[in-house]
A = this chain, B = another copy of it.
Amino acid sequence: MSAEEKMEITILKVATRLFLEKGFKATSTTEIAKEAGCNQALVHYYYRTKDKLFDAIFEKKIKVFIGSLLQIGHEDLPFEEKLKKKIESHFDAIKEDPRLPLFFFGEINSNPKRMESIREIIGDLPQMVLVQMQKELDEEISKGNVRPMTVYDLLLSIVSLNIIVFLAEPMFKTITKISDEEFSKLRERRKKENVEIILRSLKP
């Protein structure tokens, strides 16, 4: 097991996939071991408990999700362009991992304490996102380019519009009987549409 991938890593990858797909409760360490190709005890040997294994994964993913809203290296662009980039990078981060939204909202709901303990680990990240956007937004409002609005409202709208197409995919496909191909088109259209909706919503 040295030419091959280290089993410790394989376990983590399999666990990531399964936790994201089915959530904490519905995934067993037995199943993780089976898919990784090892004994169930090995999962506990490397990660001690199912909880610790999960937390490591959860932490990594929430950083990706929140961090995608913190656009860097575009300070010189005009407000609308910066915002467009934020929305699109957030959308792309979710597209990379379409189960992310349900994963977070589901796991935080079923175990609010988890979020508390993760809060300390992710640190300033959420604050940075809020402060950065707050600053940019307030400036535009004072210039009269944007109608008065809180940063919370703006963020909620962005996240909301960006997650829906991924969140609703199974329900949507069942109801509309739309093909996978058609759905892909719709998803790509939504990315542009979301930017359009947000920009329109800001006009004074």
Contact = CB atoms under 8 A, between A and B. Distances in A.
A164 B112 CA distance: 17
The copy count of this chain in the complex is 2
A188 interface: no
B171 A105 contact: yes
B102 A106 contact: yes
Interface string A150-177: 0011001101110111011011101110
Given A22-B110, A119-B175, A159 B153 contact: no
Contacts of A130: 176
Interface residues of A, number: 45
A203 interface: yes
A46 to B, nearest CB: 25
Given A25-B25, A110-B22, A152-B186, A167 B105 contact: yes
A23 interface: yes
Contacts of A23: 25, 106, 110
A108 interface: yes
